[in-house]
Amino acid sequence: MHNQSYSEQQLLELFSQACQLHQYGEPAEAERLYRHLLELLPNMWQLYYNFGLLLYEQKRFHDAHELYQKAVSLTNPDNDLLYNLALCQKALGQYQQAIASYQKALAIDPEDIDSRYNLAGCYTALERYTEAINCYQDVLARQPHHKSSLTNQAYLFQKIGEIDAAIKGYKKLLFLNPQNLAADHMLAALT
């Protein structure tokens, strides 16, 4: 693609084409087109966001992080942008930054289960178990049968020595799925 001027409609079509290439499993072509579009539209936050999604999927977390940061700098970020930025920060081991991004996302959408669940994972990584347990409890208050939250919360209760709470959690997991071998094993070990 040479330096030529594009109409607004042509630019939108190129952006749509890049998104379709990304969606249909043509990452190299999508990346080439995203890069070209960034030269033409350096202030389009959605372009940085979508390109960041592509690079995150390829586990190119540093590059994706830069793109998400640029998108955040260009717009009043929404919950989805902050969530994906936080995922990237978490993947890079930047747990404090991820916590801040998840908290901003939750300020926009307090009912967001995914942000709340991943926030708990960041607290766990930092060994801030009580805060993690509280996040899992918030998830379970909104979605009582969220099995991953039940599992993680029961494990953390066990880890901090709250055995009765851990037993209660493992029993609930077995009630929801009697074939849950891990929960059955943990319950047997605790009782």
Q: Which residues of 80-89 are buried (b: 16+ CB within 10 A; e: fewer)?
A: ebbbbbbbbb
Does the pLDDT value for residue 5 go beyond 90? no
C-alpha distances (whole Å) from 187 to each of 137, 150, 181, 184 are 20, 13, 10, 5
Q: What is the pLDDT of residue 4?
A: 67
Closest CA to 130 of 104, 98, 154, 160: 160
Question: Is the pLDDT assigned to residue 147 strictly greater than 80?
Answer: yes
Residue with the two structure tokens 């930047």: 94
| Average pLDDT, integer, range 12-40 | 94
Backbone conformation region of residue 109, classed left if phi is above 0, alpha if psi is from -120 to 50, else beta = beta
pTM of the predicted protein model: 0.88
Asked if pLDDT for residue 167 goes beyond 80, the answer is yes
Q: Give me the long-range contacts of 5-10 (CB less than 8 A, separation at least 24).
A: 6/40
pLDDT tens by residue, 35-81? 999 999 999 999 999 999 999 999 999 999 999 999 999 999 999 99
